[in-house]
Amino acid sequence: MRVKNIRTLLDYPLDLVKEWLQFQDTNSPSQLHISKIDELVKTMCLAWAADKCDHPNHTESLYQKLVVDAVVNGADELTAISTWMQQLQTAKTGAV
């Protein structure tokens, strides 16, 4: 459910999720260890952000701060990802 909700939020193609799962020798996120699900979520988020920021290191650093650290501190993951997405879009708009 977690992967589905995040995939929907990011409008990430289902085919790419299925392909990623095949590389993990599974066909369902529920069969993965939590660390692999975290990796899939990060992959989806960074793929979404690829054209939003000119500096991938900045994108990943913001992801770590606004999503990973926030969730560790008890924030809702979808809310944290939404905040991160808004930050990147605001930064891109402000830079133009």
Mean pLDDT taken over the chain: 91
- pLDDT above 70 coverage of the chain, percent: 95
Residue 92 CA to residue 53 CA, distance in Å, equals 6
Distance of CA 31 to the CA centre of its chain: 19
The structure tokens listed for 19 are: 């392909």
Token pair, residue 39, equals 């990796």
DSSP assignment of the chain: -HHHHHHHHHT--HHHHHHHHHHTT-S-GGGS-HHHHHHHHHHHHHHHHTTT-S-HHHHHHHHIIIIIHHHHTT--HHHHHHHHHHHHHHHHHHH-
Structure tokens at 32: 């993965």
Label residue 96 by pLDDT band (50, 70, 90).
Answer: very low
Q: What is the pLDDT of residues 23-54, one digit of tens each?
A: 999 989 999 999 999 999 999 999 999 988 77
